[in-house]
Every structure is written in C-alpha cells, then in structure tokens.
Structure 1
Amino acid sequence: MFDNLSDKLDKALHLLKGHGKITDVNVADTLKEVRRALLDADVNFKIAKDFTTRVKEKAIGENVLTTLQPGQLMVKIVKDELTELMGGDATGINLSGNPTVILMSGLQGSGKTTFSGKLANFLKTKKNKKPLLVACDIYRPAAINQLHVVGGQIGVEVYSEPENKNPVEIAQNAIKHAKANGFNVVIVDTAGRLAVDEEMMNEIANVHKAIEPHETLFVVDAMTGQDAVNTAKAFNDRLNFDGVILTKLDGDTRGGAAISIKSVVNKPIKFIGTGEKMEAIDVFYPNRMADRILGMGDVVSLVERAQEQYDEEEARKLQKKIAKNEFGFDDFLAQIQQIKKMGNMKDLVGMIPGAGKALKDVEIEDDAFKHIEAIIQSMTPAERSKPSLIDVKRKTRIAKGSGTKIEQVNQLMKQFDQMSKMMKMMQGGGGKNMMKAMAGMKGGMPKM
C-alpha cells in the first residue's frame, strides 16, 4: 500500500538530515522532491503544488525545538498536512434510519458488489445490525447471482427480483420487505457502467430520489488514480453523495486517489478495502494513513485488530496450559489462525513502525503459514499434544506427509521450542500471550 510513494517521500525528507536548521534553500530542495513524489503518485498538480506551499509556509515559520532535528520537524509538518488533505478526522457512517438505507454507486469494475457484502458483514459483526442486501444491477450478466453468493458467504439475506427490470421499483419493494421483516439496514447495490454516461446517471439519480437514502456512498477503485478523482466529481455533481469508499488499496496503487479525492469533491473517505476476504474492510483514518505513507506504521489499527480476535476464555485456558508446560502444536496452530484472521500478512507488517521499510523488497505471501500448517496437520494427535514424542523417525514421516523437507520440520520444532520458552517467561512475568498483550494495549504502544 503506497510503497512507491512512501519510498520517494522518505528520500525527499532525507535531504534535510544533517542540517542544523531549516532555510529557504534546503526546504525548497526537499519540497521539490516531495512535489515530484506526489505527482508520480498521480496526485493532481494543483493539489500537489498547494500542499508543498502550505508545508513551506509552516516550515519556514517554525522554530526548530532543541529535541527535534530539521528533518524530524519536516516529517511532522508533512504528516499533519497529509492528514488534513485526506480529511482530518475519521467520519462515521450514518445509521440513524429505521431501516437505514444505504445507496452504493460507482463504475463497473470498481468492486461495488463485493464491497456491498463487506459493508453488510461489517455492520452485522461490528455494529450488531441486521442488514439486507438489494440487487438493483439489472444489466451486468450474473450480477444478481454474484450478490447472492456474497450474501451466502456472510449469512446475509439478499433481496432480488430477476424478472423486474425497474431498479426504482426493486429498491422500493426491498425497503418494504425490510420494514416487514425486521431488517434495520438496507444496502442497495446499483448498476455500474464502464464509463460515466447520461443513461446511468439518470437511472441512479431516479433511484436516489425515490428511496431518499440516509447514506449515499461512491465506490472507487484506488488503482485508477487521477481518473478515480474525475469520476468521483462527475458522480458527486449528480448525487451529492455522502462519502467515498476506496477499494483495492492492497494492490500496487500509487495513492493519488486517496490523497486527492477529499480535496476535489469535499467529501470524506469513509471506508477502504484492503483485500479480497469479506473481513478486509477498514474505517478510514486520515492520520493513521498519513503515518503509514511516511513509514511510521499504524500500531493503533494493529492493536484494534488484535483486540477483535482476542478471546479471554481461550487466553485463560492457554495460560493454564503454559503454566503446566502443556502448550502443544494444536495451541500453536490456534494462535496462527488468530493472526491470519487479523488480515493479510503484508498489510499487518506495514502497520509495524519501520517494518514496511525494512522489508520493502521482501515478498510476503498471504499463505506464509501454509508450510507450518501442513507440518502440524501431518502430526498425530499425540504428537501435537506432546511434541517431545517427535523423534527422527517421526520427523521423516511428518516431512513426507506434509510435502516438506526434514530441515523445515526441524526448524519448526526449534521455533516452537523457543516460543514455548518465551511464553513460559511471559507467564512468569504476569503476561499471557502475544494476542493478550496486544489486546491489552488500548492506548497503543506503551511509552518508553
């Protein structure tokens, strides 16, 4: 996410390192590179120029504190300005209606239907809502079927009328169905096109007028860069939407849409899509995204994800096992499953301060744990509960059964042994396990 932009901004801000004070000359050199980095990320030229002008005004007017180097001060100013440019504060979704009606808009291929499912899943699991998905895309082949598949994956009902070719009637009937059956959120997935056209705009404007949604969201593919911003403006001129959803931020995106879109349409980015799974949805926090763009990580989001997966009862059971020296491979596998639920590995690593930069050339696959899982699943129940049983003969069998080499089995055994000792030490010091420790840090990382 924003790897290229982060790298170029890091190099630009590095120009001030070693300088004793901020001057017109060294600030000009630095901001020239900052502007170039933003333009390369597909940020609008005027936005990039205005951004660097504001940064320069603040930098020249600042007295460098004795505890800060000029480079550090510049990073802080750039971070603050990036945060403001992307919206300042996080903006929540309006759930005041009964039912709350949410209209999804956007171009074909933006990920609108998939994100409708992600949003329904988010509202169901995080907000304790009972959502209804509505299929109003009557043109794209298999669009209705796709929404039914998505709904089935997350256990959310989908309302559709395959024979009805009037999206306004379908949406109105769906709202009646929701009221009659206790649904408190209605998410209307509308048709998209390959480009903005008058017919599409008229149709979605008619749906919008007929159902008067509490929330109108514009879904845009972040990888389309400046084109995404132009499309957002065209939709906003007709719908006056309430917020933006950026999808595919886990791809090799340049980041221009995320940085520019708030400034152009003056509407907040409310959610971002960070992967293919139904759980891959995050509330958009401009300050956290600015931290990540500047390579500072996002510890708060990492802790929040850990809290979501943390199970206090399971932690107590695990604590007892560690105390009795009964921590086994089944427990190890359970910990891996919890980590996997937190999101894709590359995204998680990017939340750790400094890790994204240190591992920028390292390819981190989503299935990074697959060899470990295969090895553990090739063990017998007795071997998983009592690892000391595993001798050379058993290791050979496990390696063959898991399709791995005996060296990999030995490596896992060594890592498991080290982890067991570490968790035993944490136990002695009053800790429980990694998930427990992270979940307890509600205020973020403790101060040094």
Structure 2
Amino acid sequence: MELTLIVLLVIVLALFFDFTNGFHDTANAMATPIATGALKPKTAVILAACLNLVGAFLSTEVAKTISGGIINEGEGGVLISPEMIFAGLLGAVVWNLVTWLYGLPSSSSHALFGGLIGAAVVGAGFEAINGAGLLSKVLIPALAAPLTAGIVAFIATKVAYAITRRNDGKKDGRGRYRYAQIASSSLIALAHGTNDAQKTMGVITLTLVAANLQDPDTGPHIWVVVTCALAIALGTYSGGWRIIRTMGAGLTQVKPAQGFAAETSTAATILASTHLGFALSTTQVASGSVIGSGLGRRGSTVRWRTVGRIASGWLFTLPAAGAVGALAAVIAHIGPVGIIIDAVIGFGVILFIFWRSNRNKVDHDNAIPSPDVAESGYAVRIRKGTVKAETTPTGSVQSLSPVEQSAVRDDRAAREARKAAERAVRAAEKAERAARKKNGKGKKSGDAR
C-alpha cells in the first residue's frame, strides 16, 4: 500500500472523528438553552453549527499543540508514522461513539489523545511521547478546567439570583435570562470551534509532517482549516441528542438564570484555554459549569449518581481509547493487510453502534420534553423555610440509557421527598391551627364562668 494512500485514509478518518466530535459536543453549548426553552432544538443546533464553523478560523494555537506538543520529534522527523496515527484515530472514534450511544458526555479530546498515545507507544515506544507537553497542556488542564468552571458557575449563579431577588411577592423577572442564554450559548459554540476543530487540524498536520509532506513546526494549511471547520459544523448540525438529554436534564434541573451562569462560565474558561494553547476538554468544562450552577441555585438538586458515572467515563477515556489505539497499532504493524483489517473492523464497529442506536432513537422531538419553566419567584413559603415546586422531564424509563434511567429515578425520589416534606409541613400547620382553635375555645369558656 502506497504511503499516499495511507495519508488519504488518515485524513478521511480524521475528518470523520471531527464529525463525531461535533455531534458529541453539541450539548456543551446547547443543552441548557434547550432545557430552559430559550432556543428550540433544531434552531439551537443550526446556530451552534454556524458558530462552530466561524470559530474554527479564529485561532490555530491548539492545532500547534497537537501537531508539535504531544508527540516528540526525532532526527528523521516525528516519532510516529501515518499508520500509527490511523490506529490512534480509530481508538478515538470507537470510544466517542460508544459513549455517545450511552449518553455519556465524555471527552472527545481525551479520546483523541488516548488513541494517539496508545498507538505511538506501540509504534515507537514511550520516548515518542512528550511527557512535559502532555502534563502541562493536557493533564493539568483536564483537572483544573472543570473545577475552575464549576467554581465560577457557582459564584455566577449566586450573583444572578441575588441581584434579581424580590421580597414583595412580585415576579422577579428571572425568566428573562432565557434571552441572555441565546448570547451565552452562542459564545460557547464559537469557543468550541476555536478549540475542538483545531485538534483535528493538528492531527492532519501531524500526519503530513510524519509523511514528509510538510515541514515540522509549521501550522495547518488553509485547506486543512476549511475541511476541519466544515466537518465539525456538519457534526454539530446532526445534533448528538443523547448527550443533550443527559446534560440538559440528567445532572440537575436547569432554570434560565442558572443556565446563563453556567454558559458564561463555560465560554470564559474555553476561550482563556484556547488563547493559552491548552487542548482541554470542552465537555468537562461544560459539565463542571452545570454542576456548579446546580449547587449555586437554592432548592436545586444535583444528581450525584449521574455525576459519578460521568466522572468514571472521564477517568476511563484516556486508557480505553489508548487500549483500542494500541490494539489497532499492533494489527497495523502487519503491513498493508493490517491497515485493511483495521479499516474493516472499525467500519463494522461503527455500523453496529449506529444500528444499535436505532433501537432507542433519540432526536430533537424527545431529547428533552418541552420545558415547563416555572416563574422563579414561585415558592411555597412556610415560616423560616421554603419548599420549591419544580418540574422535571419524565418519560418511559425503559426507553432511556442506564445513565438517563438513573437520573429519572433519582429525580422521582427527590420529588417524592419534597412532596413528603410539604405534607409534613401542612400537617404541622393544621395541627397548630387546631391547637389554637381549641385554646381559644377554652379561654372563652373560662371567661364565661
């Protein structure tokens, strides 16, 4: 098999990964505005696709990190061949689709890094990995970014609710945050294009350098930028509705002010990381922001069981994608026949996952039921406490993924607990009124005597 054909296969698979990255990460920008009713589902994904396309042209710092900051260069060029890059991409694509099937908002970025690292170790040994670059540009941001975004979202949510609080019983107008959400979610989509589209640009550039078709330490060609921008935009337009369901309704019940705080925190973190060249996971940042905003809104419930499952997915993404990439690299070492075997097996796995997804189809009609956004001033106020009345998407538990089933069960348990609390308070009030009435009658009888 000619080297040029290998390069062509890598470019095609890289663009397909870019496509999966698009629909896998649509939820990062659009899950919360869809959940609150700020944007209609189809409108949201069209807007996100357009802004992803624009954002891909704004910077190439992350692309340079991928092409020159993770894989080392030797005397003859980078210490990884196009065959190994093909194997690494295969690991990333397979993991991306598996997590999408189960509605897990895992990191496409870390799937890509894991696949490339696994394949590079098989192909050239551990010396092929730039440990310092991996630590400073990938691993540290992976820990710091979601935590930072969560803290910022927590504070922003507290501030948003504090400045709109009213004590006169009138509506507080927080529903107007839905209009602000259009701007904040658009900013996330733009930021996503500036960060995630560049990762595929970096992979294609790395391939061209490895094949001696481009000089080392040079940025991506314009045709690479254009094709990657189009691929991620098309992927974003396709929706990724399973993960939108998890992000929009599986972690916490999202209200307009809360959603706006989460979105602005996500966008700020992504844009700052892009400027510094950090190839962080936009999914982890968005999830951290949603959790932080849920903790910041009084009366909301964060579904920690679902958070734990998502965190487990994050933990296993790098090693799982790396294992698949390494296995594909071992097969690719056979030669041209190995590349063909990898391509056939990978294509079969992709077809199976898409076939399996049709048994439980999720689209714009059923991803998140029409939100019933309550007026944020509505509450049942009883003496010193407040019992919030909230609505939660419901549906057939059997039609949901395991993560979504858990979220529904947790939510139903929380609602039952709130109802029980309300009944207990009403019973206590009733008993107190009866006691007052009885005491009043006793006083009147005593006065008559």
TM-score (norm 1): 0.24
Counting strand residues as a fraction of each chain, which structure ranks higher?
1
More contact order relative to length (CA 8 Å, sep ≥ 6): 2
TM-score (norm 2): 0.24
